[in-house]
């Protein structure tokens, strides 16, 4: 890679190319990769983004075809010399693709995963990787010797042998890549389906140095562990899938507001890792940081020792409505619609009761500031999903934090944390840790990636070049939110109807009750107050919650008179909570690079069609 | 008043005319008057508002001159017959004035009070009221006999005798007017300076039936009590006065952010009634609703029995920045600028400690839901200023509610509640009751006007015709707020400066910490993150508050590069709190009839002048 030093800019661009191709990982940026991205973004700012329409979204989707057609082929068939010339020749096109990757990894991913779903496409790129060539033939033993930076880092993929020594430093997932050193990539890529895209294979192909002999390949194949996602639960077919591995899906907006209590099967799913299968008999919950030492608690002890409490609480993903931010400017993350939010009843022990029982008191309180949670869902390095909440939320009588073992009156479903999850009402979904394995009372926040370098909000003026994750607090309480579930964008209203029925949901974090929803059908010029609902049809309305403990959403509905001479209706909703917080008017001024906290007024355009005379 | 039944619409209009002339009372609407106003608003919606410029505000100021010139004169000199004809002739002009009154009582009031300040104008209208005529002459004894609806309600004003029997039902202040029955209006009008406007006298003149004999008038004059506002404290000359009686004033925005701790003398003043002068030796604080019966507590007991706690807390009036709402459409209320907000240190006993000491426990908690406060400031009927807060805020360890007796290290100043006030950090100013006389632990909110029929937020689509005060919660926690204190609107920035320094404040209710302030100089297209400050110059920054207990504002500052070719800068700020609540973009969609909760992005336009070449 002698040429790599001839031009600083080219080095950066190339690094970015490689880095970003790999960095589609849903939430697995290492801090190192973040730093790397920051450098890259400086270049990307000046690039153009080419868009192409997709059947999934009207947002900007970067094109990868430029890349596929030329770049990798050339690289595969040539040595180090000549690469720079080629690179310079193709720079404009290259930049195209790079900018797309930089700005749109989340969308690319969502798009690709949705398009391909289960099937791993037998693409031309893949064929190129696996095709025979006149490269040297290696045995598995030879490959195994190269498992450190000193001896070189070799990996195999579908019978090919790759020297990725130089790539290790720029791998977005950081040193984790070394776990595969001297062996097969397949088991690791299986864990992070994001790698299974053509352009990732293209990058890999740059490092090809040979092939395994057939015997070694066969041996390796049989030794490969099974897909970590092979034991995923069966899901409801209505779910709209944003990513299959890990599984992330939302119900269709049209059915979301049909139920005040969302049926568990269509409750939005937001997994960061494979669903762990937990034996309830063997299950133990560990608790650290209390005065009596480490506690180990069985499921039956949790159920029998502590009173069972039930709350109705809405959970919302920080990325709900991210797709609207993507329309302003591409962000990183799953392309959620408006339904990464659902409402359920949760039953379990109060975290407060459990902590007090095992020795939480003034002595602990004097030092501790946070309660950390670890899931039993782990990545390939054995790192568990983790998050933390402020101590006062965890131990307050009014915090209502549960170690829940039931959802909607039944055992938690596997996708929702069986056998035990944390429910932190009023707080972003990401802190409601599922498959709870450990609780740590601590003076520090969780050190996890998801607490430190993800799920934070930034100014629209902050990009990957300037972001400092330490400068923003981890999202806990979420701001006021509302969205229109009916009618759907682009549908029609008949002129014979003098009114249009509009429905939706509204919710706010921190236990702040939704006190009003305003609806407009003229884009926000005039407003009408919707009727709020706090129960399912035929059920008694929920009693008003105590102040600061309104954990559940409100559904709303209104028949709005249609203005004379309307051709198109721009339906808008905005909600107000008990702290009189309002939603911002527009998306652009709250845009942020992670696409979280998307809570501007929700807007839906519908046509007003038919004969005016009959109206 | 036989004519009054000939046309339903005219009845309404006439009622409105009278009602609204009197209803400029700052916050003294009775529920009955509200009902009345609702009827009137139905008419007013279709009326035009005529504006005239004023030196105080560029907002719409209704004209009252039409009225002064004709209406009352005619009515005074004619009997019941002919009134309808006159009325119909003048309806368009009448409507003008009526709409102005309906939409703009607050602004009219603020305008008038500011313009006239102390002096009571010897206007032509006043002369007409007091001038001699050929009307019957009455003795004070004869007037005294008419003090009920049965016997008729007569009052006197500057020697004139008025039969206001028919007006009682439509008096915006409700039955309180009967307190003056059979006697002089002067002592009551002195309490509510709002009455001292020409058009109020005009209305009164309609009811003139005679004059007092000179002896009675002299006797009455000498018996009149002194002005209840004569003992008001001396105020700092820098204060910008929004109303003199009661006293309402804010510091100039330009000096507001000079101090992190606002000096008490320029801390915004928001009084609803005359400042009571309280003898600290005689002072007693009563507490009701606890298990041990009524408690009576002296000032020295309060100071000695309970630990002294100090917090730094920002108070904000619900009407802060109301003037921006007035520019969209006139609202009712004082025309506050951006400085009805200030920050101070407060010391006193914790309300929680006091309640626990006197018997608050599970038994009380099982029934009680609110803690009510009554001030020692009383209106002419003896009704004290009152408000309440939710019980959990009052008794929570983390609520930090104080019975404060010190402000900025000294005894409370008279304007801020000497000797004791409630400080409810994170909660709207109106609940921070001053000159605290009584605490009631109750299952009900305060029944006071200010809790029930004021200080609530409504949809922009809600007007006085449709408002139902019961439908909205009393404002407690306030939403995220920020404003620009420098530069001032309309000032200039020199082209030789490549940057403009922008300063301001940011605060949020409910103990939510301000975590970021975004500033734009191009009207919101691009944003920069300001530097936050939590102490005065030379002082150490305040330590970070515990979560949910950030009671104090943050001051902020930033030097923003000026865009090329800018002629005018539209400087905008918006803040974000720890719940990631954002400010709404624009004022119109959060406009509400009381003009409260005005927290849209603050915008300031400045000119960019000088020679480009030198820049």
- Please count the other Cβ atoms lying within 10 Å of the Cβ belonging to residue B244: 17
A475 CB neighbours in chain B (<8 A) are: 580
Closest chain B C-alpha to A331 CA, distance in angstroms:
17
Tell me which residue has tokens 């407009």.
Answer: A520
Which range, of B59-63, B218-222, B460-464, B491-495, averages the lowest pLDDT? B59-63
Q: Which secondary-structure segment (H or E) carries A296?
A: strand A295-298
Q: Which secondary-structure segment (H or E) carries A305?
A: helix A299-305
B457 CB neighbours in chain A (<8 A) are: 516, 576, 580
pLDDT at position A223 is 66
- Among this protein's residues, is A128 annotated catalytic? no
Interface test with A, best of B393, B465, B550, B582 (most A CBs within 10 A): B582
From the centroid of its chain, how far is CA A305? 35
Average pLDDT over residues B319-325: 97
- Among this protein's residues, is A195 annotated catalytic? yes
Q: What percent of chain B has pLDDT over 70?
A: 76
A509 CB neighbours in chain B (<8 A) are: 579
Tokens in use for A550?
A: 């309104």
Contact check, Cβ <8 Å, B478/A579: yes
Q: Is B524 helix (H, G, I), strand (E, B) or coil?
A: coil
Tokens in use for A181?
A: 């050193």
Q: How many whole angstroms separate alpha carbon B351 and alpha carbon B334? A: 31
Over 90: is that where the pLDDT of B95 sits?
A: no
Contact check, Cβ <8 Å, B479/A580: yes
B584 CB neighbours in chain A (<8 A) are: 582-585
pLDDT at position A493 is 87
Q: How many whole angstroms separate alpha carbon A99 and alpha carbon A505? A: 36
Catalytic residue selected from B455, B486, B505, B533? B455
CA angle A507, A511, A286 (to 5 degrees): 110
Closest chain A C-alpha to B356 CA, distance in angstroms:
17
Dump pLDDT digits (tens) for A123-156: 444 544 555 568 999 999 999 999 898 999 999 9
Over 60: is that where the pLDDT of B485 sits?
A: yes
pLDDT at position B77 is 30
- pTM, whole model, 2 decimals? 0.72
Which range, of A174-183, A521-530, B316-325, B466-475, averages the lowest pLDDT? A174-183
Contact check, Cβ <8 Å, A476/B579: yes
Average pLDDT over residues B487-514: 94
Residue ranges of chain A with per-residue pLDDT less than 70: 1-133, 173-174, 191-194, 223-226, 611-615
Closest chain B C-alpha to A276 CA, distance in angstroms:
32
pLDDT at position B345 is 98
- Among this protein's residues, is A236 annotated catalytic? no
Q: A158 near A3, Cβ under 8 Å?
A: no
Q: How many whole angstroms separate alpha carbon B150 and alpha carbon B63? A: 37
Catalytic residue selected from B195, B421, B431, B486? B195
Q: Is B586 helix (H, G, I), strand (E, B) or coil?
A: coil
Backbone angles phi, psi at A544, to 5 degrees: -60, 135
Dump pLDDT digits (tens) for B372-427: 999 999 987 789 999 999 999 999 999 999 999 999 999 999 999 999 999 999 99
Question: Exposure string (b/e) for A603-613, b if CB count within 10 Å is 16 or more?
Answer: bbebebeeeee
For residues A111 and B179, which has the higher predicted lDDT (pLDDT)?
Answer: B179
pLDDT at position B223 is 67
Q: Is B502 helix (H, G, I), strand (E, B) or coil?
A: strand
Closest chain A C-alpha to B63 CA, distance in angstroms:
27
Q: How many whole angstroms separate alpha carbon B193 and alpha carbon B191? A: 6
pLDDT at position A611 is 57
- Among this protein's residues, is B270 annotated catalytic? yes
- Please count the other Cβ atoms lying within 10 Å of the Cβ belonging to residue B528: 17
Catalytic residue selected from B17, B83, B147, B270? B270
Dump pLDDT digits (tens) for B543-593: 899 999 999 999 999 999 998 878 899 999 999 999 999 999 999 999 999
Torsion over CA: B598, B600, B601, B605 (sign) = negative
From the centroid of its chain, how far is CA B78? 38
Q: Is A304 helix (H, G, I), strand (E, B) or coil?
A: helix
Closest chain A C-alpha to B494 CA, distance in angstroms:
25
pLDDT bin (cut points 50, 70, 90) of residue B497 is confident
Dump pLDDT digits (tens) for B129-139: 555 568 999 99
pLDDT at position B456 is 97
Interface test with B, best of A456, A582, A586, A599 (most B CBs within 10 A): A582
Q: How many whole angstroms separate alpha carbon B414 and alpha carbon B277? A: 7
Over 60: is that where the pLDDT of B4 sits?
A: no
Interface test with B, best of A392, A470, A512, A589 (most B CBs within 10 A): A589
In sequence order, the 6+-apart residues with CB closer than 8 A to the CB of B89 are none
Q: How many whole angstroms separate alpha carbon B375 and alpha carbon B384? A: 6
Dump pLDDT digits (tens) for B263-300: 999 999 999 999 999 999 999 999 999 988 899 999 99
pLDDT bin (cut points 50, 70, 90) of residue B191 is low
Tell me which residue has tokens 């004070």.
Answer: B140
For residues B258 and A81, which has the higher predicted lDDT (pLDDT)?
Answer: B258
pLDDT at position A133 is 61
- Among this protein's residues, is A317 annotated catalytic? yes
Dump pLDDT digits (tens) for B513-527: 999 999 999 999 999
Average pLDDT, chain B: 80
Dump pLDDT digits (tens) for B218-227: 887 776 666 7
pLDDT at position B261 is 96
pLDDT at position B611 is 57
pLDDT at position A316 is 98
Contact check, Cβ <8 Å, B524/A589: yes
Q: What percent of chain B has pLDDT over 90?
A: 61
Q: Where are the beta strands (DSSP E) in B335-486?
A: 341-350, 370-378, 384-390, 402-407, 410-411, 421-423, 436-442, 481-486
Average pLDDT over residues B63-89: 30
């Amino acid at each position: 890679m002698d040429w790599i030093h001839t031009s600083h800019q080219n080095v950066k661009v190339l690094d970015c190319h490689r880095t970003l191709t790999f960095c589609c990982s849903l939430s697995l940026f290492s801090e190192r990769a973040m730093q790397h991205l920051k450098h890259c973004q400086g270049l990307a700012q000046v690039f153009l983004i080419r868009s192409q329409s997709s059947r999934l979204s009207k947002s900007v989707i970067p094109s990868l075809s430029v890349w596929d057609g030329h770049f990798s082929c050339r690289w595969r068939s040539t040595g180090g010399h000549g690469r720079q010339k080629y690179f310079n020749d193709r720079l404009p096109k290259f930049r195209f693709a790079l900018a797309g990757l930089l700005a749109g990894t989340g969308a690319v991913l969502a798009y690709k995963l949705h398009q391909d779903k289960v099937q791993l496409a037998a693409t031309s790129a893949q064929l190129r990787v696996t095709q025979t060539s006149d490269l040297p033939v290696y045995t598995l033993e030879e490959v195994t010797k190269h498992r450190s930076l000193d001896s070189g880092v070799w990996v195999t993929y579908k019978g090919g042998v790759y020297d990725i020594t130089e790539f290790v430093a720029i791998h977005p997932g950081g040193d984790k890549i070394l776990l595969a050193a001297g062996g097969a990539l397949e088991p690791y890529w299986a864990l992070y389906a994001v790698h299974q895209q053509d352009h990732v294979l293209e990058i890999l192909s740059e490092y090809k140095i040979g092939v395994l002999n057939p015997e070694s390949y066969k041996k390796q194949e049989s030794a490969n562990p099974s897909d970590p996602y092979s034991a995923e639960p069966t899901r409801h077919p209505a779910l709209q899938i944003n990513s299959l591995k890990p599984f992330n899906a939302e119900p269709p907006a049209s059915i979301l507001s049909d139920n005040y209590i969302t049926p568990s099967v269509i409750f939005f799913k937001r997994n960061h890792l494979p669903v762990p299968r937990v034996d309830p008999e063997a299950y133990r919950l560990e608790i650290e940081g209390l005065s009596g030492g480490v506690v180990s608690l069985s499921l039956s002890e949790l159920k029998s020792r502590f009173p069972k409490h039930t709350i109705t609480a809405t959970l919302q993903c920080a990325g709900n409505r991210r797709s609207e931010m993507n329309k302003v400017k591409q962000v990183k993350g799953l392309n959620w619609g408006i339904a990464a939010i659902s409402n359920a009843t949760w039953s379990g022990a109060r975290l407060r009761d459990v902590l007090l029982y095992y020795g939480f008191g003034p002595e602990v309180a004097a030092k501790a500031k946070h309660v950390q949670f670890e899931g039993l869902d782990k990545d390939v390095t054995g790192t568990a999903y983790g998050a933390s909440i402020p101590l006062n939320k965890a131990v307050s009588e009014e915090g209502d934090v549960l170690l829940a073992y039931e959802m909607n009156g039944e055992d938690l479903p596997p996708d929702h944390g069986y056998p035990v999850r944390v429910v932190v009402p009023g707080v972003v979904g990401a802190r409601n840790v599922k498959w709870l394995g450990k609780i740590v009372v601590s003076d520090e926040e969780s050190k996890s990636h998801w607490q430190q370098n993800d799920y934070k909000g930034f100014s629209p003026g902050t990009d990957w070049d300037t972001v400092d994750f330490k400068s923003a607090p981890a999202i806990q309480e979420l701001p006021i939110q509302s969205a229109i579930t009916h009618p759907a964008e682009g549908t029609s209203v008949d002129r014979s109807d003098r009114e249009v029925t509009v429905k939706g949901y509204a919710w706010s974090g921190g236990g702040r009750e939704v006190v009003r929803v305003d609806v407009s059908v003229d884009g926000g010029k005039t407003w009408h107050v919707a009727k709020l609902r706090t129960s399912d049809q035929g059920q008694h309305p929920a009693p008003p919650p105590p102040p600061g403990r309104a954990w559940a959403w409100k559904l709303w509905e209104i028949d709005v008179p249609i203005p004379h001479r309307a051709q198109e209706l721009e339906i808008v909703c905005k909600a107000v909570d008990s702290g009189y917080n309002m939603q911002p008017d527009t998306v652009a001024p709250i845009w942020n690079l992670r696409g979280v906290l998307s809570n501007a007024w929700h807007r839906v355009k519908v046509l007003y069609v038919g004969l005016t005379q009959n109206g």
